[in-house]
Chains A and B, each alone.
Chain A
Amino acid sequence: MKKLLQQHEFVVTIVFFLVVILIGAINPAFFSIGNIFSLLKSMIIRGILALGVLIVIISGNVDISFTAISAFAMYTTSKIMLALFPEGGLLLAFAIGGLIGLLLGSINASFVAGMKLPALIVSLGTSSAIRGFMLAFIGVKIINNLPASLIAYSRSYIAKFTDASGKIVTLPSAIIMLIAVTIIVWFILRYTMLGRGVYALGGDPVSTERAGFNIKAIQYFIYCFMGFLSGIAGVLHSVFMRNANPFDIVGTELIVIASVVLGGASITGGKGTVYGTLLGVAFTVLIENSLIIIGVPSYWQKVVIGLIIVVSTAASALREKFAKLEIS
């Protein structure tokens, strides 16, 4: 039991369910299928981005350019699709979006791996440059006539119910993409030497090099993969919104990073799990969606989320301190 309580994820799980029960007790509408589907839907894009951020954070760095990459990939993909392949399929759209993201991610990678610069500083720069480039050269106008394949995908679902009031509620098919990304990231981190290299890098870069890991290759993977996921998430965003607004997405990077940290990833690197990250995403989505349900003014969301992050990092710092005392 004591061991379990020392696991950050376990504590967050318990708090999460306490909050769920509390909200449900105040407003039973919380447990309606419609609300749960809506929570799940809100988790998709944030979850995909958070899983990429998780890898970056485990490696001991922070990237904040992923939202700029995401917006760039979303808007540029829509433009390319409309101009070149107006009848093009869904897969093509995701391929283009993913590729654009990957290329932009490789810019970050070349600075971080090639010139050994800290990713936070690099991504501050690239974030602004990517966004500026898009607004200056690609466009600022919202695109409302997306390709038919994207519109069709926005309507597809894997579950459909009619709720008590006779309203039809659906769970979008895109949830499958979150599940797929989850499995891929989990597998990479747990079962590949690449993934273990990411952990090793976050734990001790010098030892990682001495052990014979190819640090450059690992870092190229990290930022390219982050870019790829950002591109996918960007295209998904346009699917959900049924338009491509170049001013969207940017500004959400802090809540994504906060979700990952809330889920137990250590901002100094070396620690973090897929389960914790999804839990963190669920938590922030829950707070955002549900405070309204129980009648708390929406400005309070930010206060509550901020407090949760401070309390949870303080708690894990304290736990580490006590663990250290026990061995000394």
Chain B
Amino acid sequence: MEQVFLAVENIDKSFAGVHALNDVSLKIKKGEIHCLAGENGSGKSTLIKVIAGVEKPDSGQIIIDNKKYHHLHPIDAIHEGIQVIYQDFSLFPNLTVAENLALNSQLEMRKKLVSWKQVKETAEKALQLINVDLDLNRLVENLPVADKQLVAISRALMQDAKLVIMDEPTTALTQKEVERLFKIIKSMQEKGISTLFVSHKLREVLDISERLTILRNGQKVIEGNVEEFDETKITYYMTGRNVSSNKFISEKKSGDEKPILSVTNLSSDGFFDDINFDLYKGEVLGITGLLGSGRTELALALFGYSPADKGEIHINGQKIHIKSIQDAMRNGIAYVPEDRLNEGLFMKQSISRNIYVGILDSIKKALGLINVSEADSIAASLIKDLNINADDPLRPVQTLSGGNQQRVVLARWLSTKAKLIILNGPTVGVDIGSKTDILEKLKELAKEGLGIMIISDDIPELVQTCSRILVMHKGKIIRTLEGDEIEEKAISNILNNLD
């Protein structure tokens, strides 16, 4: 009989009438790697907060190491060895790695004065726990995301963690960094430390976890050993419906048709070099590669954000010059950034304003005033068209879920009558049900004749959506995959065997 470290039993929690958790139970054994999966709004975050003692459940109990708690306080949770690594890591960007690692321990020891020698020793010890080497004197704000995460993990372990909860830990990591993270999680397991891994990336869930609990609408739908699941099964339990994942095959292009977009010898010093490709009507073109492969820079060059130095761009057979974002938009090129919160949306503005902001020029009345009724009706029809879940288009965009926000960005560009839409990480942070809807919508748009280009890390997503995939490495296109070549294994093989 393996020992149970944490048992959460029959937890109920409501916020202002919304039943966030409904009779949820969860068991985590010592040294177990457990995965908590579920879509946005399924209650994952609330459950984590209950375990961390941040939220008090309305009923139910929490048993940690055979000790019963009805009201768990954050400090109790910490003393019991429960550490949460939030998505933002809770680090201090302006302090050094050493201080970030030592600060929490120092606080816990109720120190009044700081001994810098002790800080250094604590920090060294912390990094040894996960066997990594970082420059202790560097400021955390100057570290890459993956290293920040390592700092957060070793800081958590420093406080005698027995259970580390990681909230979406792989969102910002590259394939290689994910592997390193998994190695660390496995080595923690050898020391008897349990991990609760919260994710909606199915591949990773299956790779790393031993047991799996799936939540939907605040209820536990199933729990079991990971061997009993496969991707379709998990998807089914998460969404409550069968989500199709058909491959997308573009219709044969006739020989004399001009491509929507044609790029020849496009180069940008230091980022990408001699890029050639065509994008035909009805196609969804995927571009993948490791971080730093030049894929994002290529997209930004096409969108005029950081124009290319050399090469030619043709749209529908016509040569165009893109020196600025305005040039790109005039020529019907649209760009949906990965970080839609910061780069794509005006979070506090209404849904409908966010949609018609792209066409302000074309809905002007005399004196340059906006024809609001026309604007609203355009927005309303797009909201309907794209299935955006908004009962009130005047509500701020920030009240929408990730998937709906992404659709608002898409709606904006559709309203501009763009000819080509470039999407960078179209479904990052979008839950799986919404994700399929968005990808299906993209295929539909492609069939209607819109040029679609997707830049992504998410191999299943590419396989499901793209009719052609370009693999970039060190600024060059190294492979082009088409038809039957498009297969998950083949792509990850290419990516894993890059020098």
Contact = CB atoms under 8 A, between A and B. Distances in A.
Interface in B446-492: none
A193 B91 contact: no
Nearest to A211: B104
Interface stretch (A29-37, A194-202, A217-225, A298-306): A194-202
B90 A211 contact: yes
A225 B119 CA distance: 27
Interface residues of A, number: 27
Among A192, A207, A213, A266, chain B packs the most CB atoms within 10 A around the CB of A207
Given A203-B92, A270-B93, A191 B108 contact: no
B142 A203 contact: no
Contacts of A203: 92-95
Given A190-B114, A191-B114, A203-B95, 19 more contacts: A193-B112, A193-B113, A193-B114, A195-B114, A196-B99, A199-B94, A199-B95, A200-B92, A203-B92, A203-B93, A206-B88, A207-B92, A208-B92, A211-B104, A211-B107, A212-B104, A270-B94, A323-B142, A327-B144
Contacts of B92: 199-200, 203-204, 207-208, 270
A46 interface: no
Contacts of A195: 114
A202 B99 CA distance: 15
Contacts of B107: 193, 211-213
A196 B88 CA distance: 21
Nearest to A190: B114
A204 B93 contact: yes
A271 interface: yes
B72 to A, nearest CB: 16
B24 interface: no
A303 to B, nearest CB: 32
A212 B108 contact: yes
Contacts of A196: 95, 99, 103, 114
A193 B111 contact: yes
Contacts of A194: 112
Nearest to B291: A328
B143 interface: yes
If over half of A's interface residues share one DSSP class (helix, strand or loop), that class is named, otherwise mixed; here it is helix
Nearest to B78: A212
Contacts of A270: 92-94
A210 interface: yes
6 contacts: A193-B107, A193-B113, A200-B103, A212-B75, A266-B94, A323-B142
Contact of B103 (A192, A211, A266, A323): A211
A196 B118 CA distance: 15
Interface of B: 75, 86, 88, 90-95, 99, 103-104, 106-108, 111-114, 142-144
Contacts of A202: 94
A193 B106 contact: yes
A191 B93 contact: no
A123 to B, nearest CB: 23
A195 to B, nearest CB: 8
Among B75, B95, B144, chain A packs the most CB atoms within 10 A around the CB of B95
A24 B108 CA distance: 54
A207 B90 contact: yes
Interface string A24-62: 000000000000000000000000000000000000000
B104 A192 contact: no
A169 to B, nearest CB: 41
A192 B112 CA distance: 6
B114 A204 contact: no
Given A200-B103, A212-B108, A327-B142, A191 B113 contact: yes
Contacts of A212: 75, 104, 107-108
Contacts of B91: 204, 207
A192 B113 contact: yes
A213 B90 CA distance: 13
A30 to B, nearest CB: 37
B180 to A, nearest CB: 17
Nearest to B108: A212
Interface string A147-179: 000000000000000000000000000000000
A274 to B, nearest CB: 15
A58 to B, nearest CB: 9
Interface string A6-35: 000000000000000000000000000000
Contacts of B106: 193
Given A191-B113, A193-B106, A193-B107, A327 B94 contact: no
Contacts of B88: 206
Contacts of A204: 90-93
A206 B95 contact: no
Nearest to A268: B94
